[in-house]
Structure 1
Amino acid sequence: MKNMNTRLHEELAEVIEWFPDGVYVVDGECRTLLVNSAYEELSGSNRRDLIGRTMSELIQAGFISESVSILVQKTKHSESLMQVLKNGKEVMVTGNPVFDDRGNLQLIVTSVRDMTALNRVTLDLEKAIGLSELNKHHYHVALDQEPVVIWESKHMREVMEKVKQVAPYPTSVLILGPSGVGKEIIANCIHQMSERNHQPFVKVNCAAIPDALLESELFGYESGAFTGARREGKAGLFELADGGTILLDEIGDMPLSVQVKLLRILQDLQVLRVGGTRPRSVNVRVISSTNQDLRTLVGERRFREDLYYRLQVIEIKIKPLSERPQDANALIGHYFDCYSTKYRIPKRLRKDTVEMLNRYNWPGNVRELKNMMESLVVSVPSLVIAPHHLPLHVQTTKDTKRVLSLKRRLEQFEQEIVMEALNEYASFRKAAAALGVDHSTLVKKVQRWSKAVK
């Protein structure tokens, strides 16, 4: 048996020497058995320094950054990843398991392809295209730190202008919009742009906490307040957010009994723990958000009217992504590039793939778009994403949507151009001259758009 294994290894070693790509073979324990000349040349290592050593030992010695063989050993499936060799080269490694007749892992055969030059060229090209797109389409990136907001539409520009205006003040803010539209990101921006940005920012999903626990979680409780309570009591989330900001997400799901106590906090800036008798002063900015129509809930007596007006001092509405296709286009590029960089997989979207994604109406909004871009980067084997790689429900999007919305899209684009000209020239006459239209025509257009907004 030993002679048979030796002969098999010798034959395998002879075969892999013909491969133009690097080939690396380990046993079931991830111990190096064979390495071909292409791998030696690619890595700058000598096979004498590798054979007989485990992949864990080679990682510790700095020969490789991580091992696909160890990953295959765990999953028992083919795996791929980007790897950095000791000489600094970036390679794409794909490990394939080989099993014996009993189903035991016998070998892991890994192909290694040099991606250094391709990655450098792709990065330079992506950077050039990205800068060109930024200048061409006037994408906007708000804040130098997280959270980052990407937009291109007039609607989101107005939203961000409002955020910048109200952020410095401790006023309550109500953010409205469908699920996945980015309400939490806007709340993050308000906090980061305020003087409270170095203080706690506590986020609470009111729909995720059972009604029986919500009051004690928000406002805390004293010792012995109820069965199971801590002996020393517990500070609530409002106390933990003291000096900072609290986000009450899904505020429409808050039970009426808790709404009464929340209203008292907003009026008196004091928290009374469950089972307590002594109020505690708090300095907290309240931001609330919901995908529900609170006015309707007020009419149905499921939400207190006085609390609604306390929360709605400043109201920010975010439209669904289907109503701002310019933002969808910008977000597709942003998140696809982010995940390609994060996972170190140099992928790109074909032009017709982007066109198909732009025809989709994104019912799950930004959350759906973000998740889909991550899925395309990590789950599609090809480095170039073609239309057939997209989910079936995206491929079957009807083109009639584009035809029906063409007039509205053209008008939005016209508004963008006009507003940019007005911002640049600060004069209707100068802007009209630059655009090559009559001054009165420009004034009428702006007046009509202003009435439509109101």
Structure 2
Amino acid sequence: MEKIIEFSADGLYVVNHEGLTLFANAAYEDITGFKREELIGNHMGDLIQKGYFDQSVSLLVLEAKKRISILQQIGQQKKDVIATGNPVFDESGNISMIVTSVRDITQLKELTKELTKAKSFLHLNQNRYTFSTDGSDEQVIFQSMLMKEIIHKIRQIAPFPTSVLLSGPSGSGKEVIANLIHQLSDRKEQPFIKVNCGAIPEQLLESELFGYEKGAFTGANHDGKIGLLELADKGTVLLDEIGELPLALQVKLLRVLQEKQIQRIGGTTTKQLDIRIISATNKNLKEQVLSGLFREDLYYRLQVVELSIPPLNERPEDIEILIDHYFSYFCKLYNIEKHVSHETKRILQNYHWPGNVRELKNLVEGMLVSVPSLTIEPVDLPPHFNIQHSQESSPTLKQRVEQFEKRIVHDALHKKNTIRKAADYLGIDHSTLVKKMKRWKMTKEE
């Protein structure tokens, strides 16, 4: 019998009617990392005080005089176990000893957690909180120097888990840039979750981000819910429209970034978190900080690296290749063959694109599916294109030189952290640069 007990796969632990340890088998030693010599002869209460256990099922059985099972973390590696204490009664009905079986469920718990996460991802794939990372149209297409510098910097920072803030107007491609950062990092095989902070109602945003325990509030799922930040563990989170995040949640997000831990709503325990935060905004967060709408400490946590994505009209060199790319992409996608006339392309190249790359992409798709002829002519463009074309003649040499000059000044201001340094870099007087900026209504932040 002693040999059978010794070779049991479950850990077995025996105490007498007073709570003194009588026996522990080899499996118990393997599970807990404790040697039986340091346990036998010691009272369970003393062992708890010495830090061997946080609680004792044996003492609970002695008090309740019935079989009891508990979940607990035990041993030097804090393994998750099910401990079941079974009372052994003598002929008088008194407890003579308690035999406790201990089963290691650490692996089972990890498998359950992964299954829960898999189910959550399946649910996320059908709602607005996800962001596809493998779409063939989600490419960074460029040839301008502005974008070449940005891509060069992305290749430098992508391997590191540092926070990145993407600023720029709507439709300029911030999501595509975030996708590229994730794909170039060592997290590319891990989750990449996009959260639109402006699209989720404020009262739901906290539970979506942080999750909640069962019964945390009225209407909560009876099983609780894993939050999006927890789901992204080991991966990347894109917080789009970060400027819309309520102040109360800014405090909680800051705590997550500082402590690298997360606690669900209604929960009492914290979980270690390893996520990379990429934030995106079309607002000036510095101005929001000054007006009290955004926390300064959170701003500097998110803005470890800041990339300013320029609007399309500041990188006109990219317009033609973007037009060609999206025409080719949608022709292949819809299995059609159409062309753009030279005059149509010229109008598109001179257009100011207030909606940036997103507007261009949507326009190309719309024209390809709605224009019946094989060649897209200026008459096929939406009315506002032709109105602008009729009102604006082709730019003069002077206008083109000024556009080129503006781009050079913009690049210098982007590279240097002060206007004076930018002027030195350009080889002009500080006052001359200030005058040009005033004439063009250009600011250092832009």
The verdict on a shared fold, with TM-score over 0.5 as the criterion, is yes
State yes or no: 1:406 paired with 2:430: no
Listed one character per residue, the Cα deviations across residues 99-140 of structure 1 (whole Å, up to 9, x for unaligned) are xxxxxxxxxxxxxxxxxxxxxxxxxxxxxxxxxxxxxxxxxx
Listed one character per residue, the Cα deviations across residues 28-76 of structure 1 (whole Å, up to 9, x for unaligned) are xxxxxxxxxxxxxxxxxxxxxxxxxxxxxxxxxxxxxxxxxxxxxxxxx
CA distance in 2 between counterparts of 1:318 and 1:327 reads 13
Match of 2:270 in 1: 279
Match of 1:364 in 2: 355
Q: Which is further off, 223-232 or 257-266?
A: 223-232
Q: Structure 1: state its 5+ residue gaps.
A: 1-142, 416-443
CA distance in 1 between counterparts of 2:223 and 2:135 reads 42
Deviation at 1:232?
A: 1.4
Deviation at 1:401?
A: 7.7
- Which one of 322, 325, 333 corresponds to residue 342 of structure 1? 333
CA distance in 1 between counterparts of 2:369 and 2:326 reads 13
- Which one of 165, 174, 178 corresponds to residue 174 of structure 1? 165
**Given residue 395 of structure 2, which amino acid in structure 1 is its aligned partner?**
R
Deviation at 1:336?
A: 1.1
Deviation at 1:448?
A: 3.9
TM-score (norm 1): 0.59
- 8 Å CA contact retained: 2:137, 2:329: no
- Which one of 183, 190, 202 corresponds to residue 181 of structure 2? 190
Match of 2:108 in 1: none
CA distance in 2 between counterparts of 1:408 and 1:173 reads 33
- 8 Å CA contact retained: 1:321, 1:366: yes
CA distance in 2 between counterparts of 1:203 and 1:260 reads 20
Match of 2:285 in 1: 294
Deviation at 1:405?
A: 4.2
Deviation at 1:409?
A: 3.9
Match of 2:387 in 1: 396
**1:143-182 aligned within 5 A:** 147-182=138-173
- 8 Å CA contact retained: 1:174, 1:311: yes
State yes or no: 1:212 paired with 2:203: yes
Distance 1:375 1:146, change over 3 A: closer
CA distance in 1 between counterparts of 2:365 and 2:135 reads 23
Deviation at 1:146?
A: 6.6
Deviation at 1:367?
A: 0.6
Listed one character per residue, the Cα deviations across residues 370-423 of structure 1 (whole Å, up to 9, x for unaligned) are 0000011110000011111111101112425834741144458999xxxxxxxx
Deviation at 1:206?
A: 0.3
**Given residue 272 of structure 1, which amino acid in structure 2 is its aligned partner?**
Q
**Given residue 154 of structure 1, which amino acid in structure 2 is its aligned partner?**
M
Deviation at 1:152?
A: 1.3
CA distance in 2 between counterparts of 1:367 and 1:146 reads 12
**Given residue 222 of structure 2, which amino acid in structure 1 is its aligned partner?**
R
- 8 Å CA contact retained: 2:314, 2:407: no
Listed one character per residue, the Cα deviations across residues 415-440 of structure 1 (whole Å, up to 9, x for unaligned) are 9xxxxxxxxxxxxxxxxxxxxxxxxx
CA distance in 1 between counterparts of 2:183 and 2:336 reads 32
Distance 1:413 1:274, change over 3 A: closer
CA distance in 1 between counterparts of 2:394 and 2:256 reads 47
Match of 1:133 in 2: none
Match of 1:31 in 2: none
Distance 1:161 1:235, change over 3 A: same
CA distance in 1 between counterparts of 2:400 and 2:346 reads 15
What SS does the corresponding residue of 2:306 show, helix, strand or coil? strand
CA distance in 2 between counterparts of 1:318 and 1:273 reads 34
Match of 2:439 in 1: none
CA distance in 2 between counterparts of 1:290 and 1:150 reads 21
Distance 1:336 1:144, change over 3 A: closer
CA distance in 2 between counterparts of 1:311 and 1:189 reads 18
Distance 1:448 1:329, change over 3 A: farther
Distance 1:228 1:373, change over 3 A: same
Q: Structure 2: state its 5+ residue gaps.
A: 1-133, 410-422, 434-442
CA distance in 1 between counterparts of 2:201 and 2:394 reads 41
Listed one character per residue, the Cα deviations across residues 253-278 of structure 1 (whole Å, up to 9, x for unaligned) are 00001000000000000001111111
What SS does the corresponding residue of 1:226 show, helix, strand or coil? coil
**Given residue 336 of structure 2, which amino acid in structure 1 is its aligned partner?**
I
Percent identical:
52
What SS does the corresponding residue of 1:150 show, helix, strand or coil? coil
Counting matched residue pairs gives 284
- 8 Å CA contact retained: 1:359, 1:399: no
Distance 1:245 1:146, change over 3 A: farther
State yes or no: 1:313 paired with 2:304: yes
CA distance in 2 between counterparts of 1:364 and 1:247 reads 21
Match of 2:250 in 1: 259
**Given residue 406 of structure 1, which amino acid in structure 2 is its aligned partner?**
R
CA distance in 2 between counterparts of 1:197 and 1:300 reads 37
Deviation at 1:333?
A: 1.1
- Which has the higher Rg, Structure 1 or Structure 2? 2
What SS does the corresponding residue of 2:344 show, helix, strand or coil? helix
TM-score (norm 2): 0.60
What SS does the corresponding residue of 2:288 show, helix, strand or coil? helix
CA distance in 2 between counterparts of 1:160 and 1:445 reads 26
Distance 1:217 1:394, change over 3 A: same
Distance 1:194 1:408, change over 3 A: farther
Deviation at 1:308?
A: 0.3
Distance 1:250 1:144, change over 3 A: closer
Aligned CA RMSD, in angstroms, stands at 2.6
